[in-house]
Amino acid sequence: MTDRWRHLEVADQYGRRAIVTGANTGLGYVSTLALVRAGAEVVMAVRDLDRGQVAAQRIRKQEPEAKLRVIHLDLASLASVYDFAQAQVDDGPVDILMNNAGVMLVPTRERTANGFERHMGINHLGHFALTARLLPALLRSPGARVVSVTSLTYARVGPLDHGLGLTGDYTPMRAYGQSKLAVAVFGLELQRRLHAAGLPVTSVLAHPGWSATAETQPNDDAARSVRLARRATAILGSPPAQGARAQVYAATAASLAGGELVGPRWLGRGAPAAATLAAVAADPVAARWLWNESARLTGADPGLGTT
């Protein structure tokens, strides 16, 4: 593991503070480990504090000098998002926000505490609200960066669903793909607005390729097609130690420009490389609609005007 990250030449992160959502498992855990090895202080934003503390102890056994804080964040609850964000703003500048946490292939349509479809509510709307509320802390950092973790599926689900998963027929893969399309659309629109406002924060995107994470393998009564998809991912997908490379690079590479998408060089595996965003993620009309609707639904307007 250490040699792999050295090979990536992760830039020195001493003196920088990072927030990683979903940091106790999968891609978030590996990203946290890479960032603390590079010297960053990392806030592990987790839904389950017990699991978060166990993950932090695992990291400290490998990196005794790791600077870690485990703090509760439930992206399915806007109240939790607001409480977490306010505490972090009060703590000072944030240099890296890695919007990593997510759910995948929820078998039936479920709603969050605020009535959002579960994939969309956690993967996009929760992170939209978090980013908006953390913007004051990001603006206090010289060269802060927001990393939004999307998925290869975003390009295969057609135009953005204006029902945000609550209308029409429900299929787990489409709901997941739509949420990751929203993540991509938001990440790109965030960069447009930050740039237009002349602000020193950049927004970039990353995808892990076909990665086997804990979120793809829950123990539930999913339909056979969902179980097969999870099984295929567990067997054929790359491990989190590989999948996280793109988002760590996206968070730390000094040469990366805002609005770029980073993924494995060979689509599913390989060293991080620039990837081409599908046209469906770059539709400015859809982006404006999603931005305005997300702000309305969450009550968290980043206040960045229009594009």
Domains of the chain listed by start with CATH number: 2-298 (3.40.50.720)
Closest by CA to 19, choosing from 82, 80, 100, 79, is 100
Pairing of strands 261-266, 269-275: antiparallel
List of residues 6+ apart from 93 with CB closer than 8 A: 17, 137, 138, 140, 141, 144
The answer to whether residue 196 scores a pLDDT higher than 70 is yes
Return the pLDDT at 209: 86
- Alpha-carbon distance of 280 to 1, in angstroms, equals 36
Report the half-sphere exposure of 162 (CA within 13 A, side-chain side). Answer: 5
Distance in angstroms between the alpha carbons of the first and the last residue of the chain: 42
The mean pLDDT of the chain is 90
Alpha carbon dihedral 281, 150, 164, 221, in 10-degree steps, equals 140
For residue 161, the Cα-to-chain-centroid distance in whole angstroms is 20
Please count the other Cβ atoms lying within 10 Å of the Cβ belonging to residue 221: 8
**Catalytic site residue from 29, 154, 176, 249:** 176
The answer to whether residue 80 scores a pLDDT higher than 70 is yes
Return the pLDDT at 257: 94
214-226 average pLDDT score: 49
Instruction: Establish whether 176 is a catalytic residue.
Output: yes
List of residues 6+ apart from 215 with CB closer than 8 A: 22, 25, 26, 102, 103, 104
Return the pLDDT at 8: 54
